[in-house]
Chains A and B, each alone.
Chain A
Amino acid sequence: MIEQSVSVAHRNFLSVKPHSVAFSINGYPLYQYEKPILNLAIQSSPSEYLLQKYKDFIKILSSDQSISSKIIPFYPSEEEFFAEKECNLLSDRVHISYREKEPLTELENRIYNIYNEYQEKNWDGYGAEPMQYLNQSLQFAKALFAESRILIESVEVIPENDGCLCFEWFKSNSKFINISVKDDKLIYTYKFGDDKSCGETTFPGKHMLIEQVKKIV
Chain B
Amino acid sequence: MAMSRHRSGFPEVLNRVSLHALDSISIHGWTCSLCLGHTEPDANGDCSGSRNAALEAAAPTVQNQKEFTAQPMKYLKLAAILFLGGGIFFLTASTLRQATTFYYSPGEVLDGKAASKANFRLGGRVRDGSLRRAEAGWQFILTDDQAEITVNYTGELPDLFGQGRVAIANGSLNDEGIFLATELLARHDENYLPPER
Whether A and B are associated in the same complex: the answer reads no
